[in-house]
Amino acid sequence: MTGLRAGQLARRLRLQSRSASQDSFGGQNLAWVDVATVWAEIRPITGRELENARRIASEVSHQILVRYQPLLADSKVVAGYRALYKGRIFNIHASMNEDERNTVLTLLASEGMDDG
């Protein structure tokens, strides 16, 4: 893919990273912090049922297309992010810079297993 059509990015996503802080008792608090809000296209790829701890949970794989931003260029950092869209949580596993042209990023994500 070398470019995006007008109107292709029709979904507004919030990208978040996990942040750790210390509470007053010395324990660790984990929270999600907004990193960016972007326009995106969400494409489902596959679906499967997984048995996890005696329960069935659905996992759906997605490609999320966004415009290139330097903030999202480091795949190792982005792999720890999650995306929120209308109450849905997508765990991001990888970020790919399409054709290394700094135009489109493809985020590979899964939905349905946990809250990130």
Which of 6-15, 50-59, 107-116 has the lowest average pLDDT? 50-59
Within a domain: 2:
no
- The domain that holds 50 is classified in CATH as 2.40.10.270
Within a domain: 31:
yes
Chain centroid offset of residue 45 CA? 14
Question: How far is 15 from 6, CA to CA, in rounded Å?
Answer: 22
Domain that holds residue 84: 11-111
Q: Give the number of domains in the chain.
A: 1
Question: How far is 90 from 92, CA to CA, in rounded Å?
Answer: 6
Within a domain: 116:
no
Reported as a single tens digit per residue, the pLDDT across 43-93 is 998 766 555 555 555 566 899 999 998 988 888 999 999 999 999 999 999
DSSP for 17-51 reads EEEEEE-TTS-EEEEEEEEEEEEEEEEEEEEEEEE
Q: pTM for the whole thing?
A: 0.79
Q: pLDDT class for 39, splitting at 50, 70, 90?
A: very high
Within a domain: 32:
yes
